[in-house]
Chain A
Amino acid sequence: MIRLGTIVGTVIVSYLLAAAPVAAESGRSVYSLDQSWTSDAGKEVRLADEAQNPTVITLVYTRCKSACPITMGRLKTLHGLLQKEGLPARFVLVSMDAAKETNESLAAFRRQYKLGDDWVLLRGSDNEIRTLSVALGMSYREESKGGEFIHSNKIAVLDRTGEVRGVLDGLKSEVSELVPVVREAGKSAASE
């Protein structure tokens, strides 16, 4: 009986450990990059700040003309789907334009697309953006200095610990595919 109890106890402990991902233990957290960003309100923020819910994250730049309106439309569609399902999530847009993005241009973008408090708009240094893009498996390149960017169109979902739980690629994919990913990401965070 004692042995059985020990085994059951071990199983329960293992289950709890497995079900409670901790950023520091998994080593797969994007939050472990320890980066510092600036928000459109001019505040210094970290990706891990206020990350109690799953995060939908992508790279943008606000002066873009071609893909961004499509990407923003897709993100807003996803935002609506998640709200309908009652799945809380925050949306993080990181600018890939280290040289030209400003707090003001980010703030104007927020107004233009009527983004609420659950949208986080960030800018950072070239090195930070490059490192985050590598960690998220996203790619971008400035076509010429001060020109348009050529970039992948990926949307990633992070759980509360900052681990990537899914990536959607391309402008023609269905954003609804990310709804179950956000649901799962929220579950693992809630069971901690």
Chain B
Amino acid sequence: MWRPTARVFCSLLAVGLLCAAAPSGEGHAGSIRTIKGGQFVPLYGGPEDGSAISVDTFRLDEVPVTNEQYWKFIRDRREWDSSRRGTLLADVNYLAHWNLERGEGPAPSPDDLLKPVTQVSWFAAQAFCESRGGRLPTVVEWEYAAAADEKKPDASRDPAFVQRILEWYSKPGTVHRVGSLPANYWGVRDLHGNVWEWTYDFNSVFVSSDNRRLGEAMNNLFCGASATTATDRANYAAFMRYALRSSLEGHFTTANLGFRCAYDN
């Protein structure tokens, strides 16, 4: 029946621990990059026979949506202000980090304007992207774009690249200004190293029709010591993202979960 499970709790705990730490620098906002389609073998969650998924060309925001951009969105779309808290569409912590009162309701502090907006639900993120003629990227699109390092489109099996991602996952830190990190092969920034991001079909089932198997595996990864049995570290990094996604519900908001928008080509 309708109960939060231990795995949700464990995974949320993990989200709380897995934050970003990275140097600050120039912020970039507003650019959209084209991601040329191709064949892609996801490290996790692909077809069981390990065959490639074909990804169509799409466009993706260069950086995550900022507090400033989201604040402007709310001024046009009042139904998405703090009155949404505690509803089907956003939990009680929706925009909880906006600690200024600007007459019209909570507002982000000046220091946070160029940081990714967090504490937003899936519904909120999707509404924002739709207002721009876009949508959230699918899991496959996000993973495809995020497999690139600075030099090549698919570095997902490169030990140095994987190591950087795992270091970010293991370090507690803070959300920082968007665009501080180097652009990847596609010209996209911050897919790793800043905030976790919502995807359109985060609630897809990615293991088998019996999703209890995934639940058990996640419990072991997050709450047990069996993470050492993950022989393939690259697989492990991707698994963390899938585990996080399957622990989410559409109204959840957390301090390290933001989003960016995708657009059909």
Residues of A within 8 A of B (CB): 26-30, 32-33, 66-67, 127, 130-131, 133-135, 137-141, 143-144, 150-153, 164, 166-170, 177
Contact = CB atoms under 8 A, between A and B. Distances in A.
A66 to B, nearest CB: 7
In the A-B complex, the 4 residue pairs with the smallest Cβ-Cβ separation, listed nearest first, are A27-B87, A134-B250, A141-B204, A139-B203
* Size category, B interface: 20 to 34
Contacts of A30: 88
A138 B250 CA distance: 10
Contacts of B47: 143-144
B257 to A, nearest CB: 15
B17 to A, nearest CB: 25
A177 B1 contact: yes
Contacts of A167: 1-2
B228 interface: no
Contact of B88 (A29, A133, A152): A29
Interface centre among B2, B206, B249 (most CB of A within 10 A): B2
A137 B249 contact: yes
A28 B209 contact: no
B201 A141 contact: yes
B135 interface: yes
Contacts of B208: 150
Contact of B200 (A28, A130, A153, A169): A130
B209 A134 contact: no
B209 A151 contact: yes
10 contacts: A26-B87, A29-B88, A130-B203, A133-B203, A135-B250, A138-B203, A140-B204, A141-B206, A152-B205, A166-B1
A152 B249 CA distance: 14
Interface majority SS on B: helix, strand, loop or mixed? Answer: loop
Contacts of B250: 134-135, 137
A32 B190 CA distance: 34
B88 A135 contact: yes
Nearest to B249: A137
A190 B191 CA distance: 50
A67 B211 CA distance: 14
Contacts of B135: 127
B172 interface: no
B211 A152 contact: yes
B222 interface: no
Contact of A134 (B2, B87, B123): B123
Nearest to A145: B54
A143 B47 CA distance: 7
Interface string B159-190: 00000000000000000000000000000000
Interface string B228-252: 0000000000000000001001100
A33 B201 CA distance: 17
Contacts of A169: 1
A28 B211 contact: no
B133 interface: no
Interface in B249-263: 249-250
B156 interface: no
Contacts of B203: 130, 133-134, 137-140
Given A134-B123, A166-B2, A28 B205 contact: no
Interface string B206-227: 1011011000000000000000
Contacts of A127: 135
A32 B120 CA distance: 19
B201 A28 contact: no
Given A27-B87, A144-B47, A151 B2 contact: no
B205 A150 contact: yes
Given A137-B249, A150-B204, A167-B1, 13 more contacts: A27-B87, A28-B87, A66-B209, A130-B203, A137-B250, A139-B246, A140-B205, A141-B205, A144-B47, A152-B211, A166-B1, A168-B1, A169-B1
